[in-house]
């Protein structure tokens, strides 16, 4: 019995599964799309930059689809779902990974615009896509992984990332609410909250201190290391797989950061 159980459960089985990954043109999203394809899924690579998406798509070995879309734009989000259904007829997994970081402080007066911009992508984009995918995920008993951040669990050193932290707190609560609502229909929703991961996110952030390097972030992690995008992709794929069929509404903090004053 146990041998049979292990045999059945020893592999992630994404054969013929249709997986939407937003923000797939770089970093964690790109690593996730490539991993799902390696695990035989059909990946839908969503992003704003077609040239970058094409480079990632070239590394996908299964049938896949590239959809140019900005998740903060309603028509473009609708198009993601339409193109996916036209091509594959179903949706099994949604990975809301697209995210930006914004910089702003109360006294500089730029926290409002930082808030509006970060919420439009990190929260509203994820909510909108979840709403449009929900019935299709119910039909396949699929699941959702939302990529949040350790910044949604503890405030990061330096107050300039407050709007970003708030967006991840909101995404966490939305995810747990979605897990509650959709569990009745057999759909799981989980959160992955990475600590520092070596991607371009900081380079992509307007107004950030360009002297900051990933080396600076090593010190805030318990293991003194910055994760690689592939490590986060592995966790996402595990949660999306049947191996995690009993897990919903959970927030996986990929790393614990040292809290100022406590360590």
3-state helix, strand, coil in the chain (%, to 5): 45, 15, 40
- How far apart CA 142 and CA 61 sit, in angstroms, is 22
- Told to check if 152 binds ligand NAD by CB under 6 A, we report no
Sheet holding 251-253: strands in order across? 65-68, 42-47, 18-22, 93-96, 143-147, 188-193, 251-253
Query: Which listed residue (70, 87, 230, 234) binds ligand NAD by CB under 6 A?
Result: 70
Nearer to ligand NAD, 42 or 227 (CB): 227
Report in angstroms how near the CB of residue 204 gets to ligand NAD at its nearest: 5
- How far apart CA 129 and CA 245 sit, in angstroms, is 22
Report in angstroms how near the CB of residue 88 gets to ligand NAD at its nearest: 20
- Least Cα distance to 60 among 31, 90, 102, 86 occurs for 31
Residues 113-132 contacting ligand NAD, CB under 6 A: 121, 125
- Told to check if 100 binds ligand NAD by CB under 6 A, we report yes
How many CB atoms neighbour CB 231 within 10 A? 15
- Told to check if 91 binds ligand NAD by CB under 6 A, we report no
- Residues catalogued as catalytic: 164
Interface size with ligand NAD, residues (CB under 6 A): 28
* Opening angle at CA 207, ends 205 and 212, nearest 5: 75
Binding segment (CB under 6 A) for ligand NAD, from list 8-16, 20-28, 134-142, 177-185:
20-28
Nearer to ligand NAD, 231 or 242 (CB): 231
Report in angstroms how near the CB of residue 153 gets to ligand NAD at its nearest: 10
- Told to check if 72 binds ligand NAD by CB under 6 A, we report yes
C-alpha distances out from residue 217 to 46, 47, 102, 150, 195, Å: 28, 27, 18, 13, 9
Binding site for ligand NAD (CB under 6 A): 22-23, 25-29, 47-48, 70-72, 97-100, 121, 125, 147, 149, 194, 196-197, 199-201, 204, 229
């Amino acid at each position: 019995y146990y041998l049979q159980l292990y045999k059945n459960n020893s592999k992630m089985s994404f054969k013929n599964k249709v997986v939407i990954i937003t923000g797939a043109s770089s970093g964690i999203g790109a690593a996730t799309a490539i991993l799902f394809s390696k695990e035989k899924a059909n990946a839908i690579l969503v992003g704003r930059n077609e040239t970058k998406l094409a480079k990632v798509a070239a590394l996908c070995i299964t049938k896949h689809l590239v959809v140019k879309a900005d998740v903060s734009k309603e028509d473009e989000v609708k198009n993601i779902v339409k193109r996916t259904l036209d091509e594959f007829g179903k949706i099994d997994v949604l990975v809301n990974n697209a995210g930006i970081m914004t910089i702003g402080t109360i006294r500089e007066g730029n926290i409002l615009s930082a808030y509006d911009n970060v919420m439009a992508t990190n929260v509203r984009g994820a909510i909108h896509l979840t709403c449009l995918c929900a019935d299709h995920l119910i039909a396949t008993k699929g699941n959702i992984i939302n990529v949040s951040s350790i910044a949604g669990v503890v405030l990061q050193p330096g107050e300039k990332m407050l709007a970003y932290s708030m967006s991840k707190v909101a995404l966490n609560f939305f995810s747990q609410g979605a897990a509650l609502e959709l569990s009745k229909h057999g759909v799981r929703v989980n959160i992955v909250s990475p600590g520092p991961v070596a991607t371009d996110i900081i380079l992509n952030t307007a107004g950030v201190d360009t002297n900051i390097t990933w080396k600076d972030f090593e010190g805030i992690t318990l293991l003194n290391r910055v994760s690689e995008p592939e490590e986060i992709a592995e966790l996402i794929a595990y949660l999306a797989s049947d191996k995690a069929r009993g897990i919903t509404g959970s927030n996986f903090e990929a790393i614990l950061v040292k809290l100022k004053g406590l360590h």
